[in-house]
Structures are given as C-alpha cells and as structure tokens.
Structure 1
Amino acid sequence: MSLATMLTSFTAPKSTPEAEVVKALEGQIAAWNKGDLETAMTYYWNSPEMLWVNKHGIEKGYQQVLEMFRQDFADSSKMGVYTYEPLHIEQVSPEAVYFVFRWSIDLDGKQLMGGLSSQLWKKKDSRWVVTSEHAS
C-alpha cells in the first residue's frame, strides 16, 4: 500500500460529545482562573430558562445567575483557582450530556468553596453550553 493510499484511508477519530463537553468545561475553568468572569459565563446558556440550583435554592435565567456571580465575585482577585475531578459523564441524547464532578475553588492556599456539581450540557447553536447545574 502506498503512503498516499494509507493517508487517504486513515480517518482521525471523531470527537465525541462527552469529549467536547470536557473541553468546554476546561475552557470555562481556564477563563475563571484568569479572573475573566464574563468569558467563564459564556459557557452557560444565555436564556431565561437556564437553571442554577444550590443549597440555598434556585435561580432561573442566565441574567439572574450572572448577577449573582458578579455580586459574589465583584473583585476578580477573589475568584481563586478552580479545579475539578470528573466523576461521571454520559451522553443522554444526541444533543445532551450529563456531567458530574467534584470541584474546588482555592484562594491563598485555602479552600474557598467546593463540593459536587451535576450539569446538563446541551448543544445550542452548534456549541455546548450548561443549561442546568446543581452545585452543592
């Protein structure tokens, strides 16, 4: 078999939805760790239907969640360093991925906050975004 035949018959593995979601989460975390809240928030679905759940209750709507984060992290130096450990990921439909992970935000060598998060990622306008998150 010639080199040209080998190259044309070779097909690179396709990216899976799970891999695309992991890449998106890592993009969000990279923005967070740079102190760029606005870019980090672009990984959430910009819709009044976006849902955020935590131990205090729920927030519904992208704008409400953005304002909550702006209030909690008005000073980017207070955002800390975000890390995560994946625990479970599965594609639940052609356009949806469920992702569970342990997370931590550390500031000055101490844990500022952390816990578990379950996110529902959906493909909207050709990109993966979080449409619902439960963080505790």
Structure 2
Amino acid sequence: AWNAGDIETFMQGYLNSDSLRFAGSSGEIRGWQSTLERYHRVYPDRAAMGTLTFDLREIRMLSDKHAMVFGAYALERENDQPTGLFTLILDYTEGGWRIVHDHTSADQIPDEVHENTE
C-alpha cells in the first residue's frame, strides 16, 4: 500500500483506536486518526513517500494474542534515502493482527558528529 502511495490502506495495519501509540523523532502521537494525519503531514505526496522496504529482524510472540516485531526500514527517494529502526507491538483482534504501538527512529548522524569525522 505504501509503495502505491496509499496511506489509508497502509494504516489498515494499525488498530483503529484512540489507544494507538506512535513514537518517533517528532514525539508521541496517540490515536489512529492523529497517526493518519501525521503520515499525511510528513508525506504529503508520492515523491515524499518514496519506496519503502522493511528488514524484519525479530518476531517474538509475547502471548497467543500479542507479538513484538523489531526491524529496520529504508526509504528510497530521489533526493535522500532515510533509514532507521522500528519496534512494533501487535495485538490479535477480530480483524486480525493490528499494530497498537509503533516506535520508529531514524538513523541520523547529528551535524556535530558528522563534522568531527571528516
């Protein structure tokens, strides 16, 4: 869905609930609607969305209805290629597995660190 430019379908993987939590470099967001709005704000068009790939590094069952997924992502865009890590908590619901907690962090080297390595 993401690589087709369809954020709404991508969001079907998240629990449509006010209890959904997304944490990233811009802080914490609560709720499905707020998370959807954040995605639209950060990725306003197809070019900003780029092509997304995932590297699933660990899937751990926490119980028969709860799981943790750890992995890396890479976003390929014309002018940059952001990468990072994520941890997801999923609950098994009537609609299947849904993300209830998403903590995503970008691999960014602060300018002062970059300057010290040149």
TM-score band w.r.t. shorter chain: 0.7 to 0.9
Aligned to 1:32: 2
Structure-2 separation of matches of 1:79 and 1:57: 20
Structure 1 counterpart SS, 2:98? strand
Aligned to 2:115: none
Structure-2 separation of matches of 1:90 and 1:97: 6
Per the normalisation by structure 2, the TM-score is 0.83
Residue 109 (structure 1) shift = 7.0
- Preserved contact between residue 21 and residue 102 of structure 2 (Cα < 8 Å): yes
Q: Is 1:91–2:61 an aligned residue pair?
A: yes
Q: Is 1:62–2:62 an aligned residue pair?
A: no
Structure-2 separation of matches of 1:60 and 1:66: 11
Structure 2 counterpart SS, 1:40? helix
Aligned to 2:83: 114
Structure-2 separation of matches of 1:87 and 1:59: 25
Across the two proteins, how many residue pairs are aligned to each other? 105
Q: For 1:1-136, list aligned pairs within 5 A.
A: 31-108=1-78, 110-111=80-81, 113-136=82-105
Unaligned 5+ residue runs, structure 1?
1-30
Per the normalisation by structure 1, the TM-score is 0.73
Aligned residues: CA RMSD? 1.3
Unaligned 5+ residue runs, structure 2?
106-118
Residue 69 (structure 1) shift = 0.6
Structure-1 separation of matches of 2:34 and 2:62: 27
Cα deviation digits, residues 43-74 of structure 1 (max 9, x gap): 11100000001123200111111001111122
Cα deviation digits, residues 70-116 of structure 1 (max 9, x gap): 111221232100011111111101101100001011112730x2200
Structure-1 separation of matches of 2:95 and 2:18: 19
Larger radius of gyration: 1
